[in-house]
Amino acid sequence: MAKSKLSELTAATQVNKPDAMYLVQSGVSKQVNTSILFAGITDPTIKGNIVLGGTPQDMTSASTVNITTPITYLGVGSSQSTIAIPNGANGQVKVLLTTSTANGSFILNTNVANSANIIFSNVGDSATLLYTNNKWFMIGGTARVA
């Protein structure tokens, strides 16, 4: 146990399950592991805005959608092109948004549920995708599904 003022301790940048924290409970000093501290949180309620962090991917030519950032901006050229998306992690959400177009389209048809084609051809076309059961499912948006 550190013998320093709390304000003098080095700040932790991440927390792992076996990490211990100092707790004063009813005037008694105790230690608690983070796995115990967070074990009771099963269905948290989030109030307010949800902000998807990270720098969005800008895709302006046929390639593969990045699944390491939550948002991809699509700049569609003047022809029809096919884009791909790799497997994600169960429960992962990915948002695609058409920000510009030169009268062409992007067609997403790799790893999409029901062998669907998701077509982005107009500014504002969007798709919110959820990865589950080894496929991406479109759960919202304005892009055309064919």
What is the number of helices (H) and of strands (E) in the chain? 1, 11
Q: What CATH number should be reported for the domain whose range is 57-145?
A: 2.60.120
pLDDT per residue as tens digits for the range 24-76:
889 888 888 888 888 888 888 888 988 888 899 999 999 999 999 999 999 99
Residue 34 burial class via C-beta count within 10 angstroms: exposed 0-12, middle 13-18, buried 19 and up: middle
Mean pLDDT is lowest, of 4-8, 45-49, 128-132, for 4-8
Domains in the chain: boundaries: 57-145
Q: Evaluate if pTM is beyond 0.75.
A: no
